[in-house]
Structure 1
Amino acid sequence: MDLTGANLSETDLRETELRRAKLVGVDLHGSDLRGLNLGGLDLREVDLSGADLREVDLRGADVSGADLRELDLRETDLRGAKLVGADLRGSDLRGMDLRGVDLDAGQADS
């Protein structure tokens, strides 16, 4: 399923099968993605600002250049994810396992 560049903002996507979806540049801001397995997907330039990502599996996903502002990522699995250039300002990363995460040139609050 090719969703490249689609506007899915403010959408309830819980229990949606996205494992083989093409999601580059998709607007998902404010969407409910709780519990989804997005591991290994290409999520470059995706707007996830304000989305609900609790318990989302993003292991090994490429989230480079994505808008990840103002997210609660405490229960999100990002092990091995690529976050190069991702904007994490205002996001809660407390207690996360960041082993293997590539944050090179990412933006976060200091």
Structure 2
Amino acid sequence: MKINNILAITTILTTIGLAIPVQAAQTEDLVNLLQSNNCPVCNLSGANLSGAHLAGADLRNANLAGANLEGANLEGADLAGANLEGANLTGVFASDASFFLANLNNANVKDAHLVSAELTGANLAGTNVREANLLGVNFR
């Protein structure tokens, strides 16, 4: 019985110990983005960026899976190769933004403003684009 308790406690402590560095890295990446508007290849998965002003941000190859970007300003942002799987982009303003080869699988882009955005090679499987403004979007 004692061995099972020790094993359970060890498992819990190991899990907590492994989670703390990941959360710290995410927090550091988030602070970096909000201060410098520059965060390529960073981990922002699940981040709450609703209403954030990220115009011209460098988010190339960033992990934004499950992030909440509702109403964010991404005008001219570079999200080439970014992972936005399951992200909430409802009402986002992303005209002239690049989503070249980005993963938007199951993302919600409802009511988004994507005028003249670059979506060449983007994965749009399951993406909700209902009522999105896609005027001049490049889907090549």
TM-score (norm 2): 0.70
2:91 is the counterpart of 1:86 = no
Given residue 108 of structure 2, which amino acid in structure 1 is its aligned partner? D
2:29 is the counterpart of 1:12 = no
2:72 is the counterpart of 1:41 = yes
Alpha-carbon deviations, 1:54-85, whole Å to 9, x = none?
Answer: 11000110111001010221211001101101
Equivalence map 1:28-67=2 (5 Å): 28-67=59-98
Checking the alignment, whether the CA contact within 8 Å between 1:60 and 1:80 is kept in structure 2 is yes
**Aligned-pair identity (%):** 32
* Greater relative CO (CA pairs within 8 A, separation 6+): 1
Q: Which runs of 5+ in 2 are unaligned?
A: 1-30
Which structure has the larger Rg over C-alpha atoms? 2
In the alignment, the residues of structure 1 paired with residue 34 and residue 121 of structure 2 have an alpha-carbon distance, to the nearest angstrom, of 27
Partner of 2:58: 27
The correspondence for 2:126, drawn from 95, 102, 106, is 95
Q: Displaced runs of 4+ in structure 1, greater than 4 A? A: none
TM-score (norm 1): 0.88
In the alignment, the residues of structure 2 paired with residue 95 and residue 6 of structure 1 have an alpha-carbon distance, to the nearest angstrom, of 29
In the alignment, the residues of structure 1 paired with residue 36 and residue 113 of structure 2 have an alpha-carbon distance, to the nearest angstrom, of 20
* Shift in Å, 1:95: 3.3
Given residue 49 of structure 1, which amino acid in structure 2 is its aligned partner? A
Alpha-carbon deviations, 1:72-106, whole Å to 9, x = none?
Answer: 21211001101101000011223332210101011
Aligned Cα RMSD in Å?
Answer: 2.0
Q: Which runs of 5+ in 1 are unaligned?
A: none
In the alignment, the residues of structure 2 paired with residue 44 and residue 13 of structure 1 have an alpha-carbon distance, to the nearest angstrom, of 19
In the alignment, the residues of structure 1 paired with residue 49 and residue 105 of structure 2 have an alpha-carbon distance, to the nearest angstrom, of 22
Given residue 102 of structure 1, which amino acid in structure 2 is its aligned partner? N
